[in-house]
């Protein structure tokens, strides 16, 4: 299989430079939003809440809030990264270059995932100012965040190719990802929901992601970590297959 590292690095560097150029929107804005969550739910309301599964409430919501920002930002970054060249016409250069699906994904998705990781690190750093927490499995946590960031960067990439308007570009993160993350156990444990809502909540795939990340933080989760991990990996593979098909058929890329 061909892989042109220079091409991939060029795309990666350009995407990263775009992020730094729009640092306020890419980094500061989600950090500010998450900080407000920590202030309101972590410090003010959290101080009056009972611990969940032995974890103080302020610390309990960290994985969910992290997931909320990670999913939204990674998806938006990747979708914007490929949608804008389509919208402005600059995609001609990518399509006419000796660049295949592997280099394109390594560049666009790699950059979106990197931005997600930087964001996660900043959010975790910010959280230390508001709540006390410790990560039980830090290496697992880092790997899991990377896996989720890569998966949703791939998902965002598909979204950016599918969308033919700015409205469509914003619909999925705003109307699907954010509500599902809120309802996926970010602020509560699914096990505490009354029947049948605990079962209904498990129909939400984001609940598995939040639960998986919470396990890496505190060693407890609503669903077994293996299930969360398997689901995330399956989602990643599905996205890669869809993108490979898009490139082979040229859907929405080549006339």
Binding site for another protein (CB under 8 A): 2, 4, 6-7, 9-11, 13-14, 17, 21, 88-90, 92-100, 250, 254-255
Q: Taking the complex as a whole, how short is the minimal distance between the CB of residue 176 and another protein, in angstroms?
A: 29
Q: Taking the complex as a whole, how short is the minimal distance between the CB of residue 253 and another protein, in angstroms?
A: 9
Q: Taking the complex as a whole, how short is the minimal distance between the CB of residue 110 and another protein, in angstroms?
A: 14
Nearer to another protein, 9 or 118 (CB): 9
Between CA 68 and CA 180 the distance in angstroms is 9
Nearer to another protein, 89 or 196 (CB): 89
Nearer to another protein, 9 or 39 (CB): 9
Between CA 244 and CA 237 the distance in angstroms is 11
Q: Taking the complex as a whole, how short is the minimal distance between the CB of residue 84 and another protein, in angstroms?
A: 8
Q: Taking the complex as a whole, how short is the minimal distance between the CB of residue 94 and another protein, in angstroms?
A: 7
Q: What is the 3-class SS of the chain, one letter each residue? A: CCCCHHHHHHHHHHHHHHHHHCHHHHHHHHHHHHHHHHHHHHHHHHHHCCCECCECHHHHHHHHHHHHHHHHHHHHHHHHHHHHHHHHCCHHHHHHCCCCHHHHHHHHHHHHHHHHHHHHHHHHHHHCCCCCCCCCCHHHHHHHHHHHHHHHHHHHHHHHHHCCCHHHHHHHHHHHHHHHHHHHHHCCCHHHCCCCHHHHHCCCHHHHHHHHHHHHHHCCCCCCHHHHHHHHHHHHHHHHHHHHHHHHHCCCCCC
Nearer to another protein, 84 or 238 (CB): 84
**Rounded to 5 degrees, what are φ and ψ at 12?**
-60, -50
Nearer to another protein, 108 or 218 (CB): 108
Q: Taking the complex as a whole, how short is the minimal distance between the CB of residue 128 and another protein, in angstroms?
A: 34
Nearer to another protein, 86 or 191 (CB): 86
Tokens of 240: 């890669």
Cis before 142? omega within 30:
no
Q: Taking the complex as a whole, how short is the minimal distance between the CB of residue 240 and another protein, in angstroms?
A: 20
């Amino acid at each position: 299989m061909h892989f042109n590292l220079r091409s991939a690095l060029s795309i990666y560097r350009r995407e990263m430079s775009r992020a730094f150029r729009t640092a306020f929107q890419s980094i500061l804005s989600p950090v500010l939003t998450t900080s407000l969550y920590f202030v309101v739910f972590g410090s003010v309301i959290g101080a009056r809440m009972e611990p969940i599964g032995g974890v103080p409430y302020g610390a309990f919501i960290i994985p969910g809030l992290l997931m909320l920002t990670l999913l939204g930002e990674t998806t938006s970054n990747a979708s914007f990264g490929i949608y804008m060249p389509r919208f402005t016409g600059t995609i001609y250069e990518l399509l006419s270059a000796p660049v295949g699906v592997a280099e394109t994904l390594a560049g666009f998705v790699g950059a979106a995932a990197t931005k997600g990781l930087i964001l996660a690190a900043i959010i975790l750093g910010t959280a230390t100012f508001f709540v006390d927490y410790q990560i039980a499995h830090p290496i697992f946590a880092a790997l899991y965040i990377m896996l989720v960031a890569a998966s949703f960067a791939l998902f965002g990439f598909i979204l950016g190719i599918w969308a033919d308007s700015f409205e469509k570009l914003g619909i999925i993160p705003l109307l699907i990802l954010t509500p599902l993350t809120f309802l996926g156990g970010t602020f509560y444990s699914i096990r505490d929901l009354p029947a049948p809502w605990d079962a209904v909540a498990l129909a939400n795939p984001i609940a598995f992601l939040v639960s998986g990340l919470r396990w890496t933080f505190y060693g407890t989760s609503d669903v077994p970590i293996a299930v969360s991990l398997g689901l995330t990996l399956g989602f990643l593979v599905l996205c890669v297959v869809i993108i490979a098909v898009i490139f082979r058929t040229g859907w929405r890329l080549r006339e």
